[in-house]
Structure 1
């Protein structure tokens, strides 16, 4: 099968500060004919995630930076529409890191067959994919969550944060989330049943608002934001508290070094454990996670939301929307 028009999103320039639409360009080019052992995949869904901002900077990190004038990369769900590989027949649903494009050819080494479930395919980009796994790893492996813990979650209405809130509630914890709108606050309280919510955009004093929501202090802080959230949480941590550092979106678009919290000595005084983590280093636990999360979903104990943009050409807008907080739950792009 010859694909004459394959639309891709390329990185046109490296952003300084907050990215804008000029950082991206839509490119159309043909897809070659298959060779023996290869498959042609049509992407159905793709993910945009905050960590992608770091890959737009040309620097050494845990994952190589995106190349200029080449397709960006990210998690995607696709379907094999032509196969010359017997292990992946036509019709197979697969996950890959070949997002930001409509079609691609693979020799199967960078593909993973989707498990057979009754759950929608795109869930493997969210609740059953990297965001859900990140929440589970951060709580169970890094923060060593225990029943009765007082848990504070920043960016609590996002794909990771909302899952953290629900897992912590299922484990019998008191849970407080920080969000940026009243609608998101209602979502956390009315649907996810968290115990208290802080709207960091309307709170007159963020530290006081978090303190009022956490009258017995914080045992576990799931960190997605950094900045003032981290400083406030450090002052409220209980002795031997644990901080799982998943992300610091507050710094992703900074153009100069950002001063750290002035109260880092609390880590010593309160004997805190503060650990950053990258979920891909814990992927050996993925089967255990899928089994547990699938059970929770089947029992109706876990729910999730998606914010969906349609069409490959909308992918940059979806990505940029992550930094203005327009999404509730997982931000996805559905490819036509």
Structure 2
């Protein structure tokens, strides 16, 4: 075991609850403190976090839900990847690469839990360690779970099935589209905002068809989206991978064929609303059309409790089935607040996974 003397760690905190709108950079703070890494207990390891994930779902934990605003100061926790710096755990060796769901602190002492920390040694290198918060982390496992576990393309279908994926140029959508097309041979339709991102869908991520939702007429987005989907899937869509909510969901549901499936991954369009409005669903029609809507989480797939995510995704990367892995980097832990705001503020041109590199 290598021994590290007491060291400095930097951590990302939200100062207080923010119920409405996008949190400002001033709502966060980076706190520097000392962590004693010199005397580990049996089973403990010291981890050095080298990459921090930046994800829309974290917005939910920044709302008060009735608690006093000032009670909201807390250390943010999310997906990270890095290296083991010291170990008194027989399952972990100094230098091992890992992915994990941990507090956003650059150096910390933990007792590894297989449900919260998984080994990436042999799957990534120093140069690709960021994949631990991307294609081999939460976004990749979410894409894998949504398509392979929830939507489950039907190889015995009497027609080539069509999938519609919203937020298709983002961390999840960019990977999901490649799995859908290159692993399951589906007809793929993706939506994204702006000409540049629409071009990215077709040229980089291999989507068969792309819809620019920013070009839809204000006030008539739902009907216009239905018309766009009908253009590329005249008989309707078989699957919808939901990342946005709002009129995207309504249009997809209106376009869903009999036996159609919807995987509920996220609803980024209402994350910053105090009282979000949710689409109505005609559950009576679903009975006779035998349609299915299902929510899901990626954790069971990351932990290896369901499917074979790490094995399958690593193979697909090697085989070139998942070949376009876009990442947008922000440098230094101090940049995490700015990176988080970029997910919601349209002036930023993020592509694929947004990552903070320490």
> Does residue 270 of structure 2 align to residue 251 of structure 1?
yes
Alignment of 1:302-321 (within 5 A): 302-303=322-323, 304-321=325-342
**Offset of residue 87 of structure 1:** 4.0
Q: Which residue of 2 aligns with 1:12?
A: 15
Distance 1:79 1:322 in 2: 27
> Does residue 258 of structure 2 align to residue 239 of structure 1?
yes
Distance 1:162 1:123 in 2: 14
Give the superposed CA RMSD: 2.2
Q: Which residue of 1 aligns with 2:178?
A: 166
Counterparts in 2 of 1:228 and 1:19: CA distance versus 1, 3 Å: same
**Offset of residue 233 of structure 1:** 0.9
* Unmatched runs of 5 consecutive residues or more in structure 2: 218-223
Render the CA deviation track for 1:100-134: whole Å, top value 9, x for unaligned: 22111113335432241255111121111121111
Alignment of 1:57-206 (within 5 A): 57-59=63-65, 68-109=72-113, 111-118=117-124, 120-147=128-155, 148-170=160-182, 171-204=184-217, 205-206=224-225
Alignment of 1:204-223 (within 5 A): 204=217, 205-223=224-242
Describe the SS at the equivalent of 1:55: helix
Comparing 14-23 and 255-264, the one that deviates more: 255-264
1:234 and 1:263 in contact (8 A); partners too: no
**Offset of residue 75 of structure 1:** 1.0
Distance 1:68 1:176 in 2: 40
Comparing 231-240 and 73-82, the one that deviates more: 73-82
> Does residue 355 of structure 2 align to residue 332 of structure 1?
yes
Q: Which residue of 2 aligns with 1:272?
A: 291
> Does residue 317 of structure 2 align to residue 293 of structure 1?
no
Distance 2:334 2:229 in 1: 39
Q: Which residue of 1 aligns with 2:304?
A: 284
Counterparts in 2 of 1:97 and 1:289: CA distance versus 1, 3 Å: closer
> Does residue 25 of structure 2 align to residue 21 of structure 1?
yes
2:142 and 2:172 in contact (8 A); partners too: yes
Counterparts in 2 of 1:262 and 1:241: CA distance versus 1, 3 Å: closer
2:177 and 2:207 in contact (8 A); partners too: yes
Comparing 227-236 and 199-208, the one that deviates more: 199-208
**Offset of residue 286 of structure 1:** 5.8
1:36 corresponds to which of 41, 44, 56: 41
Q: Which residue of 1 aligns with 2:220?
A: none
Comparing 301-310 and 206-215, the one that deviates more: 206-215
**Offset of residue 136 of structure 1:** 1.3
1:245 and 1:275 in contact (8 A); partners too: yes
Render the CA deviation track for 1:261-315: whole Å, top value 9, x for unaligned: 3756553453311111112244435661222221211112212100111100001
1:150 and 1:216 in contact (8 A); partners too: no
Describe the SS at the equivalent of 1:301: coil
TM-score by length of 2: 0.85
* Unmatched runs of 5 consecutive residues or more in structure 1: 61-66
